[in-house]
A = this chain, B = another copy of it.
Amino acid sequence: MAKVLITGAAGFLGRHCLELLVDEQHEVHVVTRSATLSARPNLHIHGVDLFEHAQVHELLRTVRPSHLLHLAWVTAPATYRDSLANLDWLAASVQLLRAFAENGGQRVVMAGSCAEYDWANGVCDETTTPLHPGSLYGICKNALREVLEGCAHCCEISAAWGRIFYLYGPGEHPDRFVSYVTRSLLAGRSARCSTGTQRRDYIYVKDAARAFAMLLFSSVAGPVNIGSGAAVEVATLAQTIGKLTGRPDLVLLGSAQPLSPEVPLVVSGQRRLGGELGWSPEFPLERGLTDTVAWWKQQLDR
């Protein structure tokens, strides 16, 4: 049984990771400022502010986790790409890493992003695709990865870096694309979409959480794509939500600008996640979207 510290455990992805790790009977410690989590016999909640490094060092000295899963970061959809808060999260993450290394930490996994890659390449491979982050978010994530790898080398810690592609599922921020389309259609409002010819790698949040849990207890080191390996046209994605909600008429393709730079394809190579780690998705797109629609229906019926 490992002693795991998770940050961002009250977040979209974190909640699902937390459930998996608690269910697996690890001793789980959570750093959160959120009051929505409640303790269980093997779940310990710490109200520590990750931006206060004295608090962080004290926590790590006390808990001495063997495993660290660091997911916390700024994610506000409208602003996260170029927010100066990315600098705060880089600084806080580096301090957390230092405290982990100094207090007996053995295995660390942190959340990166497909935003680190040069998107001109379409299929993103951890070893061969050049990196070229186009936002302060991607730059700070990539800088943290470099420091993580250097620190792991110096301190003989095992470290991996999960580059997350397009997450969706229950609990996602209401303004993100899948949430927005689903909420709109369920409320009988039209959903303004781009033409949607761009193809993206959408991964169901529970599949991504399982990938992170597997990665945390593996010895796979370095960057690992966390994506489904399948690219879907954004138009198809929206139309599938249209079909599942019974309101395909409300999906207005071509009436909005795309959310991300208009490159034709962003998809994760699966050499490491599938090949080395042995992960495969349990939720194909239509099943994931069905569960997402059902979840939003519940929320809106409340």
Contacts and interface: CB of A to CB of B under 8 A. Distances in A.
Interface residues of A, number: 31
A105 to B, nearest CB: 12
Nearest to A97: B87
Interface string A75-110: 000000010100110111011011001100000000
Contacts of A90: 90-91, 94, 147
Interface string A148-167: 01110111000000000000
A235 B98 CA distance: 39
A53 interface: yes
Contacts of A147: 87, 90, 136, 139-140, 143
A84 B155 contact: yes
Q: Does more than half of chain A's interface fall in helix, strand or loop, or is it mixed?
A: helix
Interface in A128-143: 133, 135-136, 139-140, 142-143
A272 to B, nearest CB: 22
A146 interface: yes
A28 B149 CA distance: 38
A288 B139 CA distance: 40
B91 A95 contact: yes
A92 B87 CA distance: 10
A280 B133 CA distance: 35
Contacts of A88: 94-95, 98
A279 B139 CA distance: 31
A144 B151 CA distance: 15
A184 B95 CA distance: 40
Contacts of A82: 154
Interface in A2-38: none
Contacts of A153: 136
A270 to B, nearest CB: 28
Contacts of A133: 150
Nearest to A101: B84
A55 to B, nearest CB: 13
Nearest to A140: B147
A91 B94 CA distance: 6
Interface string A218-233: 0000000000000000
Given A90-B94, A133-B150, 17 more contacts: A51-B53, A82-B154, A84-B101, A84-B154, A87-B98, A87-B151, A88-B95, A88-B98, A90-B90, A91-B92, A94-B94, A136-B150, A136-B153, A139-B146, A139-B147, A139-B150, A143-B144
25 contacts: A53-B91, A82-B154, A84-B98, A84-B154, A84-B155, A87-B94, A87-B98, A87-B147, A88-B94, A88-B95, A90-B90, A90-B91, A90-B94, A90-B147, A91-B94, A91-B95, A135-B150, A136-B147, A136-B150, A136-B153, A139-B146, A139-B149, A139-B150, A140-B147, A143-B146
